[in-house]
Amino acid sequence: MAADGLTIEQEVAGLRDELRHHEYLYYGLDAPELTDAQYDALMNRLKALEAEHPELTTADSPTQRVGGKPADGFQKVAHSRPMLSLDNAYNQEELRAWDARVRGSLPAGDPVRYTCELKLDGLSLALHYGPGRNGASLVRGLTRGDGSIGEDVTSNVRTIRSIPLFIPAGKLKTAGLPQRFEVRGECVMPQAAFAKLNQEREAAGQAPAANPRNAAAGTIRTLEPNIVAQRRLDFYAYFLLESEAGAMLLDSQAAALATLGQLGMRVNPQVATVDSIEGVWDFIQRSEPLRDTLSYEIDGIVIKVDAAQQQRRLGFTGKAPRWAIAYKFAARAGVTRLNGVLFQVGRTGKVTPVADLQPVFISGTTVSRATLHNADEMARLGVRIGDSVSVERGGDVIPKITGVAARGPDSIEIVFPTDCPVCGTALIKEPGEVDWRCVNASCPARIREELIHFGARGVMNIEGLGEAMVAQLLGQTLEEASEEDGSPRTVRQPLVRSIADLYELTKEQLLALDRVGDKTAQALLDEIERSKQAGLARVLLGLGIRFVGERTAGLLAARFGGIHALMDASEEELIQVNEVGTKVAEAIREFFAEARNRELVRRLEASGVVMTAEKRVTTTVLEGLTFVLTGTLPTLTREQAKEKIEAAGGKVSGSVSKKTSYVVAGDEAGSKLEKAEQLGVKVLDEAGLLGLLGAD
Ligand code: IVH
């Protein structure tokens, strides 16, 4: 019996309505009414009921956002109508010229209203809704692709919380919509999610994504919905279409936005409908400063003729509608003097030229450093020290130099070093790569970065092992002249030359450092001691193996259970781990092939650093087998069945092919079962699956 004398079905339906409502308040309106804990409690209750009554689980339940991954990559699907781009205007004059063209193509004296929206810097998506029980369900999400044909990224789109999986009949009725319609809008990665992603990428030794747009586009094409769900993409709706070619559903863009809001879609609140191009210009002036305050990137304003009837009259050119235009903001740029170039050595030894600039104020921020990327880029720009250079703060994380504004009178050529600026080892460039690297694994610059990474929050979490402490441990403090003996400066011997040395530090050694008293020394030693228990996943992350980020480290730890099993794993065994491909497997093999790294592991282990993890893969009875799940199973939910299969070493895929080992079919299995029969793939029921797993 469910709570409050309701039937189970009623409680499940009620919980779903409630969760959808709160998702809308939270993700759609940014106005939550529940605490996270209250929301989780509702969600957990629904999950529990669905687990007990799998027959009640539906694909559009709020519990079902993260599902299986698309097995054979993304399918190409034709758009209902082309997804066009927009013509651009870069100044007020171009905007007025467009206004004149619009008015010139409409009956003389026809009043024209414009709806102005922010131009979000992301990627456009088309969402198809179709008939579901008592409403409309999200059936498909497509990328723009080439405009005519997009990619089916439904499994990833489902993980975006601001996209409703289901819209109840009541809302459709209020909005006057049929059960089948299409929504288009922009998918963006908020700045905070972007910053977090780049931290993780850097921790894994991967190049950071250049800007949130690239990161969002890369994420939506990731084959692992779990990862997409963690990246916190967002979606803002700006178009409502009928899926069958035909008239627009509503008679104006302003009404379409209002309706999208009623449906529970997230609609950007920064909009205005105005009745002249002056009104448009006002909106632009008011919106541009928002650029520095919004939690996502915008690169302009989109202006749309509001009336659907006028839109139809104006029609399209080959690639863009005549009834809309994008006003592009000027790049946030400035001109300043290049005072010098610093060559930074990263954790992997990569040497990056960084421009040291005369500080310049660019839209709210003082910029004094900008990247010059690499030697090729420096040569391409032709910059010299002493030049006036143009600096841009785009959507990119790090400002960049875009060119020489004026040659300085006594400018000097920048010479890329041939030796590491820190340790003097000759720099090496691999064929086909653009970066010069210091290959000395003991280079103090590299060790410094390794130590900072190792102690970082989310890695080994050693509080007190910040930049200043690391510098001291490396002996990089230069003491001021001591008054007593008058000796000039002393350069200290490094206390630490490798991560393993951290675990051999003594209190006496620490007390000899500047500004380190008994309390600080003891606190650091305690933290180091505590870090020994962090577990294999954290240690793997801390070792800084290329491409091994938090998630991969976790998966590897769970699969191998101990460092030795991992060190000895073959490439084939590594690739068996979800999300590990040949590139990652090779990086792991290379890392452990180096004697220095094996020695590091040996020393860490000898110091008592825990190098094991709870092995989550308990059996491997399904190793090498691929399963497809279809229909409703009598006792297990899809997720539970998937977990069991994966825990036993099997893989679960979304579509049936000749490579499928088994199709597990429950009630109301559809086309997948038919396909299995056509291809002669073996079919199991739930009992059959449990039999394979060795359970009763
Ligand atoms: S309307 C017919 N509205 O900008 C094309 N686009 O440069 C209609 N974009 O591909 C697009 N914010 O990805 C529209 N409020 C907005 C937008 C927007 C961002 C993007 C969209 C489009 C690109 C065109």
Same-domain pairing of 10 and 53? yes
Q: Which protein residues are within 6 Å of ligand 1, measured from CB? A: 84-86, 117, 119-120, 124, 186, 238, 302, 321, 324, 326
Distances (CA, A) of 255 to 122, 489, 668: 24, 74, 40
Q: Whose CA is nearest to atom 2 of ligand 1?
A: 84
What is the reported pLDDT for 478?
43
| HEC profile of 102-158 | HHHCCCCCCCCCEEEEEEECCEEEEEEEEEECCEEEEEEEEECCCCCEEEECHHHHC
In this structure, are residues 458 and 550 in contact, taking their beta carbons and an 8 Å threshold? yes
Please say which residue of 476, 507, 531 terminates a domain. Answer: 531
**Residue 432 lies inside a defined structural domain of this protein:** no
Pairing of strands 123-132, 114-120: unpaired
**Residue 312 lies inside a defined structural domain of this protein:** yes
Domain that residue 488 falls in: 444-531
The interaxial angle of helices 191-203 and 212-220, nearest 10 deg, is: 80
Q: Whose CA is nearest to atom 9 of ligand 1?
A: 119
> Taking 50 as the threshold, does the pLDDT of residue 418 lie above it?
yes
CA–CA gap between residue 521 and residue 528 (Å, rounded)? 11
Same-domain pairing of 521 and 542? no
What is the reported pLDDT for 247?
47
Of 47, 69, 76, 119, catalytic: 119
Closest ligand 1 atom, CA of 304? Answer: 1
The residue among 402, 307, 416, 299 whose CA lies nearest residue 357 is 402
Closest ligand 1 atom, CA of 123? Answer: 13
Classify residue 70 by its DSSP letter: P
> Taking 70 as the threshold, does the pLDDT of residue 407 lie above it?
yes
Same-domain pairing of 353 and 315? no
CATH of the domain at 630: 3.40.50.10190
pTM of the model: 0.66
Q: Whose CA is nearest to atom 18 of ligand 1?
A: 119
Q: Whose CA is nearest to atom 22 of ligand 1?
A: 85
Closest ligand 1 atom, CA of 268? Answer: 15
Residue 265 CA, ligand 1 centroid: distance in Å: 17
Burial class (CB in 10 A: 0-12, 13-18, 19+), 223: middle
In this structure, are residues 33 and 22 in contact, taking their beta carbons and an 8 Å threshold? yes
Residue 151 CA, ligand 1 centroid: distance in Å: 18
Q: Is residue 643 within a helix (H) or strand (E), and if so which, with residue range?
A: helix 638-647
CA–CA gap between residue 356 and residue 368 (Å, rounded)? 6
DSSP 159-192: T-TTS-SEEEHHHHHHHT--S-EEEEEEEE--HH
Residue 316 CA, ligand 1 centroid: distance in Å: 15
What is the reported pLDDT for 477?
54
Ligand 1 site-directed mutation target among 302, 322, 328, most atoms within 8 Å of CB: 302
**Residue 342 lies inside a defined structural domain of this protein:** yes
Largest CA distance in the chain: 94
What is the reported pLDDT for 480?
40
CA–CA gap between residue 658 and residue 681 (Å, rounded)? 7
**678-679-685 Cα angle (round to 5):** 85
CATH of the domain at 467: 1.10.150.20
In this structure, are residues 460 and 531 in contact, taking their beta carbons and an 8 Å threshold? yes
Tell me how many helices (H) and strands (E) the chain has.
25, 21
Same-domain pairing of 449 and 581? no
Same-domain pairing of 324 and 337? no
> Taking 70 as the threshold, does the pLDDT of residue 3 lie above it?
no
Closest ligand 1 atom, CA of 118? Answer: 15
> Taking 50 as the threshold, does the pLDDT of residue 482 lie above it?
no
**Dihedral sign for Cα atoms in the order 385, 387, 393, 394:** negative
Q: Whose CA is nearest to atom 23 of ligand 1?
A: 85
Residue 242 CA, ligand 1 centroid: distance in Å: 18
**Residue 437 lies inside a defined structural domain of this protein:** no
Is 583 annotated in the active site? Answer: no
Residue 180 CA, ligand 1 centroid: distance in Å: 23
CA–CA gap between residue 648 and residue 576 (Å, rounded)? 12
CATH of the domain at 110: 3.30.470.30
What is the reported pLDDT for 483?
39
Please say which residue of 279, 299, 328 terminates a domain. Answer: 328
Least confident interval from 26-30, 99-103, 212-216: 26-30
Q: Whose CA is nearest to atom 14 of ligand 1?
A: 302
pLDDT digits (tens, 9 = 90+) for 244-280: 544 456 889 999 999 999 999 999 999 999 999 999 9
Same-domain pairing of 485 and 510? yes
What is the reported pLDDT for 695?
54
**Residue 434 lies inside a defined structural domain of this protein:** no
CATH of the domain at 355: 2.40.50.140
Same-domain pairing of 230 and 176? yes
**Residue 423 lies inside a defined structural domain of this protein:** no
Q: Whose CA is nearest to atom 12 of ligand 1?
A: 119
**Dihedral sign for Cα atoms in the order 29, 31, 36, 39:** negative
**Residue 81 lies inside a defined structural domain of this protein:** no
**Residue 620 lies inside a defined structural domain of this protein:** no
pLDDT digits (tens, 9 = 90+) for 126-149: 999 999 889 999 999 999 988 899
| AA letter at 9 | E
- Determine how many CB atoms are found less than 10 A away from the CB of residue 490: 13
Same-domain pairing of 215 and 354? no
Share of the chain above pLDDT 90, in %: 58
- Mean pLDDT, to the nearest integer, of 401-418? 94
> Taking 70 as the threshold, does the pLDDT of residue 484 lie above it?
no
pLDDT digits (tens, 9 = 90+) for 151-204: 999 999 999 999 999 999 999 999 888 889 999 999 999 989 998 888 887 777
**Mean pLDDT score of the chain, rounded to an integer?**
89
> Taking 70 as the threshold, does the pLDDT of residue 618 lie above it?
no
CATH of the domain at 36: 1.10.287.610
Same-domain pairing of 502 and 590? no
| AA letter at 423 | C
Please say which residue of 292, 309, 328 terminates a domain. Answer: 328
Residue 144 CA, ligand 1 centroid: distance in Å: 11
Same-domain pairing of 93 and 184? yes
H-assigned helices in 532-581:
536-543, 550-560, 563-567, 571-575
Same-domain pairing of 159 and 192? yes
What is the reported pLDDT for 616?
67
> Taking 90 as the threshold, does the pLDDT of residue 227 lie above it?
no
Residue with tokens 């066009």: 84
**The total number of structural domains that make up the chain:** 6
Looking at per-residue pLDDT, the higher value among 232 and 503 belongs to 503
Structure tokens at 456: 């970082």
Residue 148 CA, ligand 1 centroid: distance in Å: 15
Same-domain pairing of 275 and 289? yes
